[in-house]
Structure 1
């Protein structure tokens, strides 16, 4: 989201008193499932002019950098995650109904399996285009890393430095294991990738031209606004200045770490989660992540002092392993497991999440059912790989058409139920 709203300290929302969720989906042609760069045909104001955002009650639709991507998001802070999945689903159905009239539909998952960005990528050409053009000039957005990535973002609020320090420490600890739940991008260029979360492997190299932009994805351990701005944001801005003389990109959102502080609205935005096959799965994951983060901020299993000492590079190493193997990644760092109260020896990332999910069960049945599928059958990426059966040429369109159906019908993807 590019529009920034300054929030004064007096009206900042305290920890876990509100949530912001953003879901990105591809628009594809109904018959071929190739990407369809027509988001501006959906995002129109009452006069029919392209608009960057359409507000529909408590849900809004907005554009992204790529013209074939549309974002659904909470229209402002949501007081609770309960009930949110059904509202997102209703908007998914609304969009699909509108798209059906022009031979298109929405596709879930974090990467299109056969998109050719070098020939199919089209930038959003309307409002904020100067921002996208600036990114394109500096980083060349014709590759998968910019053109072919869809994610779920979770925004969590904080009020003041003390809450920011607690929340940032908790989120840094959670980032390395999130792909064990959310990986949904095992295919790219019609090939199985060596990473179950290929989106993140691609994402972390997006800004290699300016390494300060993404760092090592896991944000460094700075726990006050002053230190964060001085040691993370300012080096980004200074390094980019020769390439962005007009300062178009001199904003917090240019920071591409896996979680970024948005001091203009007093939130931290988690960015490492691949989008799932239907909204209930995304909201279920967001609810579990928020509950575990809350327990960490309350020092349920480990002290704030210890959490804030967690070394960035050790967290990065766990993260990279989980990007590759998701839920089956063996966590061999006992100090890391201690942060979550795990004292039973080594375990997989999936084991750790199952333990956490038992402590924080979903509050709505649709969320619980979606999360049970992930925890019992693996993240979406693993289920996609299982369904492909090694025969990508024949089964890719079958599997991804089923994923489109799952999104439209609001149900989890299960290999055992795929009709061939």
Structure 2
């Protein structure tokens, strides 16, 4: 998100950033291996790989280079980028500015139907991972594995404990507002955890067609009748042969973001290969049971206690019947990586430190006084801006 360097209020100037670069009003900037693009609101800029990346190796350095370039180009506006999943005091009712250029009809349709002046639309930033599949067999395995992993991801990536200048009762408040932003048409988001469907035909029948049918009376021009209308925590993109994971809060720097991406992709590979449990076991979990775990984790993140032994067994977690999510992530980390790998890999070294420190949400909460002012919040989030610029973790004393 783009903010003022002095006040740290949001600055809706992404279109100005793009105009300065391209000398034209474009919605995307091609920077070689990385691209910049617009989002729903004018104070957010998206950084993404410019097409599929064959490896995660070195990606954090490419993204960091772009962060530095954007910050350099924002200097004349006395603005900079702020990390984290939610702005701590933005008032979306009065400050929301939708992208007014190309794709605006889509955004206006969303706004007309759902009213985008809310935290769940206008004040959230996330990291998306698109993972590929080639056919129904691969889709079945990948979708089964992703559904299993989704509930515990906030226990690794939560970074949104503050909104409206208040400490929220959720470690991952972004996901709390995200899950309810389409309440007017519930089939758009479902239970965030996707339904147990494992082929393209099943997905189309149970998810897409129901969603399109439900929104049709509100969308007479069929502007939103597309796969991207789906707002579940992981969405099938058959148009590009991938499943997009959407439940990850943005971290404090690109190294931390790519560390999160690394362990998730490696964990999903292990599940697809049936390392600890069979495909049939993974497919047997319904969305209601997974949603119950998910809701507990968005509230308490790494401190959530999971007392479902059968869920923990999916990861071969040694337990007497329950374990906290932080311990589960430590177990997964040690199952996936050797000590030598961690020592010799900067991303894994960062990941090791992140699991030890706990979620960014917890660190932000601990850095703030129990009763905090805007100046207190500004001090913490200024440190986060520095972490983004310098490519380092946010660490606090004590």
TM-score range, shorter chain: over 0.9
1:190 and 1:31 map into 2 onto residues whose CA distance is: 17
Indicate yes or no: 2:335 matched with 1:354: no
Indicate yes or no: 2:194 matched with 1:219: yes
Q: What residue is the counterpart of 2:18 in the other structure?
A: 43
On the 8 A contact 1:149/1:199 being kept in 2, the answer is yes
Q: Deviations over 1:66-106 (max 9, x none)?
A: 10000000000101001000000000000000001211000
- Offset of residue 390 of structure 1: 1.5
1:47 and 1:311 map into 2 onto residues whose CA distance is: 48
Instruction: Determine which of 349, 357, 366 is the counterpart of 1:386.
Output: 366
Q: What residue is the counterpart of 2:394 in the other structure?
A: 413
1:251 and 1:54 map into 2 onto residues whose CA distance is: 24
Indicate yes or no: 2:80 matched with 1:105: yes
Q: Within 5 Å, give how 1:129-208 maps onto structure 2.
A: 129-208=104-183
1:373 and 1:53 map into 2 onto residues whose CA distance is: 34
Q: Within 5 Å, give how 1:82-93 maps onto structure 2.
A: 82-93=57-68
On the 8 A contact 1:107/1:407 being kept in 2, the answer is yes
Structure 2 residue matching 1:416: 3-state secondary structure: coil
- Offset of residue 45 of structure 1: 7.8
Bigger mean CA deviation after superposition, 43-52 or 87-96: 43-52
Q: What residue is the counterpart of 1:67 in the other structure?
A: 42
1:274 and 1:187 map into 2 onto residues whose CA distance is: 13
On the 8 A contact 1:45/1:51 being kept in 2, the answer is no
Indicate yes or no: 2:286 matched with 1:320: no
- Offset of residue 374 of structure 1: 1.9
Structure 1 residue matching 2:195: 3-state secondary structure: coil
On the 8 A contact 1:44/1:54 being kept in 2, the answer is no
- Offset of residue 373 of structure 1: 2.8
- Offset of residue 161 of structure 1: 0.1
Q: Deviations over 1:144-182 (max 9, x none)?
A: 110000000001000100000000000000000000000
1:35 and 1:386 map into 2 onto residues whose CA distance is: 24
- Offset of residue 46 of structure 1: 6.4
Structure 1 gaps of 5+ residues are 1-25
Q: What residue is the counterpart of 2:385 in the other structure?
A: 404
2:43 and 2:393 map into 1 onto residues whose CA distance is: 24
On the 8 A contact 1:30/1:104 being kept in 2, the answer is yes
Indicate yes or no: 2:30 matched with 1:55: yes
RMSD: 1.2
On the 8 A contact 2:258/2:347 being kept in 1, the answer is yes
On the 8 A contact 2:22/2:29 being kept in 1, the answer is no
- Offset of residue 265 of structure 1: 0.2
2:39 and 2:355 map into 1 onto residues whose CA distance is: 31
- Offset of residue 392 of structure 1: 1.7
Instruction: Determine which of 272, 282, 286 is the counterpart of 1:311.
Output: 286
Q: What residue is the counterpart of 2:228 in the other structure?
A: 253
- Offset of residue 415 of structure 1: 1.2
On the 8 A contact 1:152/1:275 being kept in 2, the answer is yes
1:298 and 1:372 map into 2 onto residues whose CA distance is: 24
Bigger mean CA deviation after superposition, 46-55 or 356-365: 356-365
Q: Deviations over 1:279-304 (max 9, x none)?
A: 11111111100011011011111110
1:353 and 1:312 map into 2 onto residues whose CA distance is: 21
TM score, norm. by length of structure 2: 0.97
Structure 2 residue matching 1:277: 3-state secondary structure: coil
CA 359–130 in structure 1, closer or farther in 2 if over 3 Å, else same: same
Instruction: Determine which of 355, 361, 368 is the counterpart of 2:348.
Output: 368
- Offset of residue 377 of structure 1: 1.3
TM score, norm. by length of structure 1: 0.92
2:316 and 2:17 map into 1 onto residues whose CA distance is: 47
